[in-house]
Amino acid sequence: MNEAIQPLPDGHGSVTRSDAVTRSDAVTEPRASASGAEVVLKFEDVSLSFGDQVAIDHVSFEMAPGSTRVILGAAGSGKTTVLKAAIGLIKPDSGRIFLLGQEITSLDERQLFQIRSRVGVLFQEGGLFDSFTVGENVAYPLLNPKSDKVDLTLVDQKVTEALRFVELEETMEKFPAELSGGMRRRVGIARAVVKEPPLVLYDSPTAGLDPITANTIMALIAKERETANTASLIVTHRYQDGQVMSNFRYKSGSGLLNLEHVEQNGSGGPKITFMVMDEGKVVFEGTQQELEASTDEYVVKFAPKRP
Amino acid sequence: MLDFLKSPIEALQDFYILTGRALKSVVRPPHYIDDIFLQMDIIGVGSLPIIILTGFFSGVVITMQMSRALSQYGATGQVGMIVCITLVRELGPVLTALLVAGRNASGIASELGSMKVTEQIDAMRALGTDPIQKLVVPRLVATCTMLPCLTVISDFVGLLGGYLIASLQLGLSGSQYWTAAYQALAYNDIVQGLLKPFVFAFIISLVGCFYGLRTTGGTQGVGLATTKAVVSASVWIFVITSLLTRIFVNLH
Ligand SMILES: Nc1ncnc2c1ncn2[C@@H]1O[C@H](COP(=O)(O)OP(=O)(O)O)[C@@H](O)[C@H]1O
Ligand SMILES: [Mg+2]
């Protein structure tokens, strides 16, 4: 089990440094390792419980660079746990997780910092720092891991760019508490993508939002996917979110809400995999057509038949 | 059969782990100096008014009580000694610690607790910052430096309060009072009077952080964590002071 971490001796200084250098190659040219080439995230028979409460139960899946995966499931089905385990915030009890070509289950927190800094995360509760302004929040991923050298003059520019991406440039100096729920979510997205990560994880991006704001958020996620070709893992209880991801495409040069309808069966449609979870177990995995054709009682709840 | 012991023992174990990691992080970079100063300001300077007020009145009250008792032996001249020993050895450290526990163990637990339930702690870890280093260490260092200072101030203000009563009510001269107070102090008392607040500071900051960081269950959980932090910090302060006093009394 430990071969995968062979190149990581205890003195992690030198290795992590070289990791940072190969950052851009990580996706286009993953090292041939036990994790297999061309995967940004892979779960291998992962189980995790909190005391007696089983949160995820023998979950396996993998994501290719630039791919989209939507995890559907009721509250408490283990969606957030999957996402947190993916970046090593929670350790699984068994199974292995590979993130950007590295086996992370046996790494310690300091080694994980290096890998996590290449992944964007939008937390369900937002996770914006109350004591920082919006601008400082978005700049945090660029400035914080002191090992990553980011040109200070570039930081301002990148922060402005990321905030412009979510169309919230004018809130730079505000505090998160002064923003609406939808705006906070958008700032969260700006912070998640500011470093141009090859993989972004979104935890219930539309939870607690009105339908219009929810669509804006999904449009932003689609826009990030189209413009940066980011692999996206989207955890949600709303099937419409998945629908937006698979049936719409961001129209460049247009406003926030302008998505273009694409036919899924056409060859140009985005590649997207759906996964349905129930009490920690994966009960469905497949394409949108397969999901809509499913007759499983639980799965059907998440995929209303087309009229 | 011993299932009811499982959760307190697990909690104690988690507390040891947190303590160990915090102590390791104190010496390991990165150091968040700005956060240490900010916490010193909140914990130290912020607690000053209440510490001065209660310190003064505890001195006043002890002097009034003791002067009555001492007058039966015609020894009111020695009141400075009694006040000084009571304050420096026990009452100063314990009262100050209890007040700081009420003010800051709760503050720490509720602040970290709300950060926990809004996933700010997770976000911090996801963005490459160790919450122990960024949140726990500054609070630990700030409390450990400020609480002994606050205790010294409280002791001194208490002695002043005592002097006020001694001169107004008992008609003692300044030199009578202060000489008795000064001569009462042995080296042992000073050590004990400074060691106690240092240990209490550990308890207050780490208990606050501990309950804050393990908050679950939304805003309701934050309230619960805050209450637990204050109650258990206060109880531990009494347990520890009994143990330390026992050790120091035996040293004589
Ligand atoms: N920190 C925790 N401590 C104890 N149980 C937890 C914790 N986090 C999640 N759980 C439990 O794990 C299960 C899955 O939770 P979660 O992944 O948050 O579900 P979802 O995000 O799909 O709503 C739930 O039953 C939940 O109660
Ligand atoms: Mg969740």
Cβ atoms of residues B117 and B218 within 8 Å:
yes
Q: Residue B29: inside a domain, yes or no?
A: no
- B20-77 pLDDT, tens digit each: 999 999 998 888 999 999 999 999 999 999 999 999 999 999 999 998 888 888 888 8
- Structure confidence at residue A215 (pLDDT): 87
Instruction: Look at residue B11 and tell me if it is in a domain.
Output: no
Boundaries of domain holding B108: 46-251
Task: Indicate yes or no: CB of B119 within 8 angstroms of CB of A87.
Answer: no
pLDDT at A149 (0 to 100): 64
Spatial separation of the C-alpha atoms in residues B81 and B179, rounded to whole Å: 8
Residues A170, A203 contacting (CB under 8 angstroms): no
Q: Residue A148 has what pLDDT?
A: 61
Classify residue B105: in a domain, yes or no. yes
For the whole model, what pTM was predicted? 0.86
Best of B21, B25, B122, B130 to disrupt the A interface (most A CBs within 10 Å) is B122
Task: Report the alpha-carbon distance of residue B137 to residue B129 in Å, rounded.
Answer: 13
Say yes or no to pLDDT of A88 above 80. yes
Confidence of residue A35 (pLDDT cuts 50, 70, 90): very low
pLDDT of A263:
59
Is B208 within the bounds of a domain? yes
Which residue out of A104, A129, A149 would a mutagenesis test of the B interface target, given it has the greatest number of B Cβ atoms within 10 Å? A129
What is A18-119+197-296's CATH superfamily? P-loop containing nucleotide triphosphate hydrolases (3.40.50.300)
Q: Per the domain annotation, does B110 fall within a domain?
A: yes
Q: Where are the domains of chain A?
A: 18-119+197-296
Decide if B148 is inside a domain.
Answer: yes
Mean pLDDT of A15-23: 35
Q: Give the 3-state secondary structure of residue A98.
A: strand
- Count of domains for chain B: 1
Q: How far apart are CA A242 and CA A235, in angstroms?
A: 9
Ligand nearest to the CA of B117: 1
Identify whether B118 is part of a domain: yes
Name which of B221, B38, B227, B15 is nearest B114 in CA terms. B221
* Per-residue confidence (pLDDT) for residue A255, from 0 to 100: 55
Model confidence at A249, pLDDT cuts 50, 70, 90, reads confident
CA quadruple A297, A303, A304, A307: dihedral sign: negative
Residues of B in contact with A141 (CB under 8 A): 127-128
Partner residues linked to A68 by β-bridges: A232, A272
Residues of chain B with pLDDT > 70, as a percent, come to: 99
Q: Is a pLDDT exceeding 60 seen at residue A10?
A: no
Q: Residue B22 falls within a domain, yes or no? A: no
Answer yes or no: do A121 and B126 touch at CB < 8 A: yes
